[in-house]
Amino acid sequence: MLCFCLEKLHNKDIKSMKKYLLPLSVPMALAIGVSAAEDSEWSHSLSLGLNFSRGNTESTQFNTDYDGVRETEHSKLALDASIYFGEENDEKTSDAYSFGAQYNRTISERAYWLVDISYDVDNIADLDYRLQVGPGLGYSVIQSEKANLDLEAGLGYQSQQYNNLESTDAMAWNAAEKWSYQLNESAKVWQGLELSGDVSEGDDYLLGAEIGVETKIAGSFNLKAVLEDQYSNIPAPGKKKNDIRLTTTLVYNF
């Protein structure tokens, strides 16, 4: 069935997707490199979603994401990457990718310091790039076998450029809230909020929110559904402030 579906995809669809493989491979390669250099255990997950139609309407929707986590007694390294591509009747409906990394180091039983970096591109929103990097502090409000709630805040550097506009560089603040709950051995839910902005421009801020659920279906395979909302108070000229995305993907854990 999968082979039949792939044969139906146009060659240009496959070629369009290939350019996104590099950002997806960066954190995966980093995880493999760190594992080889250190005696450590990683947990990885790779998700894939694909929808297409041919006939009166020709559309292709493709999304994939990677997550890698390495935890020790006093530290945690998390890597992530995502790709979203969509096209309907030869017109792109989504064209974005991102990757990031965060390193946490414990200060006490619940407090930790962190360094975070992220890189985002969204061609539909005319975002050529947005780079954010900086240190911060975090605190685990809830820390149990089933539930976790972390609060984080920090200051750092932000550089971004919208299509046909000059790039901007500024000191930026950020705050985040991350909650997760293990429903049972096979299912979990999570929710997160992240707010960041230019220190010198009070009305120039970004808000990201997501809620998701993941459940085991067989062996190393899970099914995941995620609802995301990305809000930019000062978007590119002519673009909307809000972007909402709902994705369902097949997840492979390794």
Q: For residues 8 and 195, give the distance between their C-alpha atoms in angstroms, rounded to a whole number.
A: 41
What sign does the dihedral 211-117-83-25 (CA atoms) show? Answer: negative
Residue 52: per-residue pLDDT = 86
Average pLDDT, the chain: 88
Residue 2 clears pLDDT 70, i.e. is over it: no
The mean-pLDDT minimum among 33-47, 82-96, 111-125, 209-223 falls in 33-47
Average pLDDT over residues 146-165: 95
Residue 12 clears pLDDT 60, i.e. is over it: no
Name the band, by pLDDT with cuts 50, 70 and 90, for residue 7: very low
Residue 77 clears pLDDT 70, i.e. is over it: yes
Name the band, by pLDDT with cuts 50, 70 and 90, for residue 37: very low
The mean-pLDDT minimum among 5-9, 100-104, 229-233 falls in 5-9
Residue 39: per-residue pLDDT = 52
Residue 5: per-residue pLDDT = 40
Residue 41: per-residue pLDDT = 83
What homologous superfamily is domain 2-253 in, according to CATH?
monomeric porin ompg (2.40.160.40)
Top pLDDT among 68 and 35 is at 68
Q: Which amino acid is at 212?
A: G
Residue 201: per-residue pLDDT = 87
Residue 6 clears pLDDT 60, i.e. is over it: no
3-state SS record for the chain:
CHHHHHHHCCHHHHHHHHCCHHHHHHHHHHHHHHHHHCCCCEEEEEEEEEEEECCCCCEEEEEEEEEEEEECCCEEEEEEEEEEEEEECCEEEEEEEEEEEEEEEECCCCEEEEEEEEEEEECCCCEEEEEEEEEEEEEEEEECCCEEEEEEEEEEEEEEEECCCCCEEEEEEEEEEEEEEECCCCEEEEEEEEEEEECCCCCCEEEEEEEEEEEEEECCEEEEEEEEEEEECCCCCCCCCEEEEEEEEEEEEC
Q: What share of the chain has pLDDT > 70, as a percent?
A: 84
Average pLDDT over residues 83-99: 94
What sign does the dihedral 171-22-191-209 (CA atoms) show? Answer: positive
Name the band, by pLDDT with cuts 50, 70 and 90, for residue 54: confident
Residue 61: per-residue pLDDT = 94
Each residue's pLDDT tens digit, 114-154: 999 999 999 999 999 999 999 999 999 999 999 999 999 99
Q: For residues 25 and 9, give the distance between their C-alpha atoms in angstroms, rounded to a whole number.
A: 23
Residue 28 clears pLDDT 70, i.e. is over it: no
Average pLDDT over residues 14-30: 48
Average pLDDT over residues 206-211: 98
| Domain residue spans of the chain | 2-253
